[in-house]
A and B are shown apart, each in its own frame.
Chain A
Amino acid sequence: MAERNVSTRRASLDPGTSAAGDPQGSSGLDDQRLMARICQGDVPAFEALFDRYCDLVYSISLYIVRDAALAEEVVQDVFLRLWRRPDQYDAAHGRFLPWLLSVARNRAIDERRRQGRRLRHEEAAGSHRQLALPTDDAGDPVLAALLSEDRATVRRALQQLPEEQRRTIELAYFGGFTQREIAQALRQPLGTVKTRIRLGMHKLRAALSDGR
Chain B
Amino acid sequence: MNCREARRELGASALGALDQDTARALEEHLAACPGCRAEAAAYQEATTAFPLWLPLRRAPAALRERVLSAVRRPLPHAPPRTDEGQRWRWALAAAAAVVLAAVLSWAIILQREVNDLRGEQRRLVTAQATASALLQTQAEAQAHLEAQRAVLLLVLGEDVSYLEMRGPDRGAEAKAVYVWSRNQRLGVLLADGLSAPPPDMTYEFWFETGEGEVSGGTFAPSDDGAASLVVHPREGMGRPRSFVVTLEPAKGSPEAEGPVVLRGDLP
Contacts and interface: CB of A to CB of B under 8 A. Distances in A.
Contacts of A76: 63, 66-67, 70
A178 B158 contact: no
Given A13-B49, A72-B63, A209-B42, A110 B183 contact: yes
B6 to A, nearest CB: 12
A11 interface: yes
Nearest to A76: B67
Nearest to A148: B52
Interface stretch (A16-24, A28-36, A119-127, A198-206): A198-206
A110 B184 CA distance: 12
B11 A138 contact: no
B42 A79 contact: no
B182 interface: yes
Contacts of A176: 16
B47 A173 contact: yes
Interface string A89-112: 000000101100100010000100
A172 B50 CA distance: 12
B67 A139 contact: no
B51 A139 contact: no
Nearest to A64: B54
Interface string B143-167: 0000000000000001000000000
Contacts of B8: 194, 198
Nearest to B13: A201
A134 interface: yes
B49 A150 contact: yes
B55 A138 contact: yes
A34 to B, nearest CB: 14
Name A's interface SS: helix
B171 interface: no
B12 A201 contact: yes
A73 to B, nearest CB: 9
B182 A154 contact: no
A154 B49 CA distance: 7
Contacts of A202: 11
A137 B78 CA distance: 31
A127 B239 CA distance: 27
Given A134-B55, A138-B55, A177 B67 contact: no
B35 interface: no
A46 B46 CA distance: 27
Interface in A111-166: 113-114, 116, 131-132, 134-135, 137-140, 143-144, 147, 150-151, 153-154, 157-158
A205 B43 contact: yes
Contacts of A75: 59, 63, 67
B11 A201 contact: yes
Contacts of B70: 76, 80
A179 B51 contact: no
Given A110-B182, A153-B49, A209-B42, A169 B63 contact: no
A179 B49 contact: no
Given A59-B56, A97-B48, 14 more contacts: A13-B52, A43-B71, A55-B57, A59-B51, A63-B54, A75-B67, A76-B66, A81-B158, A172-B15, A173-B47, A174-B50, A176-B16, A178-B19, A182-B17
Interface of A: 10-13, 43, 46-47, 50-51, 54-60, 62-63, 68, 72, 75-77, 79-81, 83-85, 95, 97-98, 101, 105, 110, 113-114, 116, 131-132, 134-135, 137-140, 143-144, 147, 150-151, 153-154, 157-158, 169-170, 172-174, 176-180, 182, 194, 197-198, 200-202, 204-205, 208-209
